Each structure stands twice: as structure tokens, then as C-alpha cells.
Structure 1
Amino acid sequence: MSRNENGAKPSEGEDAKGENTGKKEEFVLGNPELVLRWRLASKTLPLENRHLRALSRRTVMGRPVTSQLIGWAKQHIEWTLFDGAAENPDGVLMIVLDDKGQAVMTVGPYEPIEQPTLAVLAARAQDALSEARKTGVAPETLCVSRDNHLVMGIDRDANVSGAASLISDLASTVGLSVEYDGELVSRALTGAIDFDEAFLVSDEHGVVCASDAGGQLGERFAQGYQKLLDSVDKRHRR
């Protein structure tokens, strides 16, 4: 499902007088400026509201995402999932925004992170921070626990992704204090970090515990996230 700059799907072309020519315009996607990957469960988007809220805080080529595009995304998520999620009901919803102001939405299979070591997760979080400097939101965040505190590897005033907002709220619910550290990722990459365990919070992958630095807190969040996905599946089985 795609849209052009005014929020409409590509349609039959018009001539200079605005009369329908009967010729359909060919949709050609330009250079991708933002690629979003959101995890599905049973052909639904469990964190839809959180994802759309985070999308509204993003920028593309230095310009804020428009309310028209948010409306288009909200409208077309249901259509796209109905048409495209049959083969991948637990896959990934992808939205691509290009340098022409166009967007396309599609569904693909979910592929887990292979060998999710701390180094691999930290490298992904670093890439996400680089994306955030261009688009305003990091889709993946490295988190660690330290002395019974949750530390998220972003600045305190940073815009958070849909998945990160969920984990932050869950932490508050269980009485766990949340701290923010914009230098956490760089220190993790160099090994200059003191922590009890580490995990990645991702819009695409949920909560992924480091295979060489996991722990009870990360597992608890991972189970909570999986319970959310399972609850969606149970509702759709009724």
C-alpha cells in the first residue's frame, strides 16, 4: 500500500485540465529516508498506538512527519494487515518513507537476531542512535540493569520508540526506577561499563537479552512482551 505527497494512493492520471486520462500513474519509490519495522502478532499490531505516537515525533529530511501521513498510516494499517499478513501473521509491518514524500507499507517475515551477544546488540543500538540523529527516534535501545535500576541508553529528553515506551512504563509499574544515559552504548562497545545484565529493546524484535550478559530483569521484560503477543493471539482464536 503506497501514498504520494498529498496522502493519496497512486491513481489514474489527469491531464492539464484535470480530466481523467484513463492512464494509471506508475508508483516509483525514491531513495528511502526512513524505514520502520514493527512486530506483528496474529495479523495485528499490538503496539499500534505507541508506534504511531513515536512516528509523529520523527522527522524526514529535516521536516516533521505530517499529520496527513499519520492519518494515512492509521487508516492503511488495517487494510495492509488484512491483505498482506495472511502469509506472515506474526511477521513485521514495514513502512518506507522516501525523499519525495512518498510512503509504502508492506508485511514481511520476522527474522530473529542471530547470536545476540552484547557486542551485537550494542552495535545495533549504535546504528539506531545514528538514525535518531537524522529522524528523531531510535528504533532500538540498549538497556542495562545496575543496582536494581533500569538504565536506558538514550538521553533523558530523547524521543522514545514504541517498544521503549512500553518497557519504561512496565518498569514504573513494578516500582523500578528508570535512568537515562546517552553514553551507555559507546561505553558498552569499549567495555568501559559496569552493569548486572544487558538487553535490547526493539520495535522489530521486542526484548532481546544479551546471550553473554543476560539476567532476570531482561527475562522478566521479555516474558512480559511475549505475554502481550500471546494475549493478542488468544483473543483472535476465540
Structure 2
Amino acid sequence: MEQLMSYWYDWGVFVGVFLAAAVAIYIFFDSQQAVAPGSATWPRVISVAGLLLTLPSLVYRLTQMEDAEVLGLPFLFEGDSNFSLFFYLAVAGLLLALGALVYYLMRVRTVAAVVIVDPFPTVPPPPPPPPSEPIAPQPRPVAATQPVNPEPPPQAWLVVRSGPRVGTQFGLGVSRPNVVGRDPNKADIIIDEESVSREHARVRFENGQFVIYDMASTSGTLVNGNAVQRQMLYDNDRINLGRVELVYKKV
């Protein structure tokens, strides 16, 4: 153990603090772009805690190790309790940082690597019509009866980014309530996931713009990481309902 401490306070403390800092910085900046808001909170906290645990041994190495060459490491090991305490804290901190990195890469980063399906694929142009030929007069067909107020085509879409049925597209109508929830008897947009409430949120068309309302859900409604009760939606807004993430796409 004394030999291991000797290696640590000789050069290992600098390598250990560098690794812990690199892990914390990587997780923090990578999670800004690659994962859903809030899903990388624990890896961030654990990696920062690991980095903080390695710092006392670095400070000790830089400020209290002048006597090491005169008295020798065995003397410091027996006479200074901080010598071994800071070593054990640093080892625990380095293990925490590496564990946070492994968890982030295997759980959080993997789940976030979902490709969003384009809800508006390019449609190829129709083939040219055949050459026209004389056609005998035909009786005019009777037009089919049309509803008085037909439902207009969807003006926007909700695309599932993470959760059940990734890539599924839900059209938003301008004349219906667009209730999003788990209960098929009450919701227009059904998401079968236990973290989603039976009637979780409603998306209404108001003054030419879709607006989302939280319907007193258990886990709340988040738009771009912020909890909302009422929020106007814009193209590519990220909506979190429990563990499900949707992306708002406007026509």
C-alpha cells in the first residue's frame, strides 16, 4: 500500500485529476447536444463529485509534500493521517468519475442515439399522361355527397423521438382537442407508456398557432426542458411527457 501511495503522490495524482476532469467536461458538453434534457443529470453530478474528491490529494501534493524527500514517505504515512485519507478519497473519486462515464455511454448516450424520421418525405413527380385519344361522350357521374365541414388536413405533426413507437407521426387537427395521453377512451393521440398520464396534455389551435396545455398530469409537461402549463409551440420544439419525448413539426 505504501508503494501504491508513493506512485500516486509522485505522478499519479496529476494523471488521476486530469482523467476525472476530462470525464466531467466530456459528459457535461456532450450531453448538451446529444441527449434529452434531464436524462444526463446523474452522470453529471457523479462525475463532478468524483473530480472534487481527487482535488484534496492534488492540493496536498502541491503544498505539503516538501518534507517527503527529507523525512521519507513511510514517515509521512505514519505521522500524517491526511496523507492516506486524501489518497483513499482520490481513488474513490476516480472510480466514481469512470463509473459515471461508463453509465453515460452505455445507458444515457445509447438511448439518445435515435434518428428522427422525416414526417414529410419527398414524393416523386407523377408520370406523364398518355397521349390523348378521342373519347366518346360519357354520362356525367353524380358527385358523391361531401360533409358540410370536412376536417382540413393536419397543419402540424408530433413525431415520437424516444419511448414506445419511435418515429411514429401524429397529425394535429385544427378543429379537435388533440388530447395526448395513455387512455384510449379519452385521448386522441394515444401513447402507451406508464409515465404518461391518462389525459396528459392537450394541443389546441389558437389564432393560427398550436398551443400545448398541461392537463394536471403526474409527471408534468416540459417544452425544451422547461415545465409549462400553457406554451405556444414552434417548429422543432422538444416536448417531454414523462419518459416520452416528442418533436413538434409544422407544415
Which TM-score tier does this pair reach, normalised by the shorter chain? Answer: under 0.3
TM-score by length of 2: 0.26
Higher relative contact order (CA 8 A, sep 6+): 1
Richer in strand (by share): 1
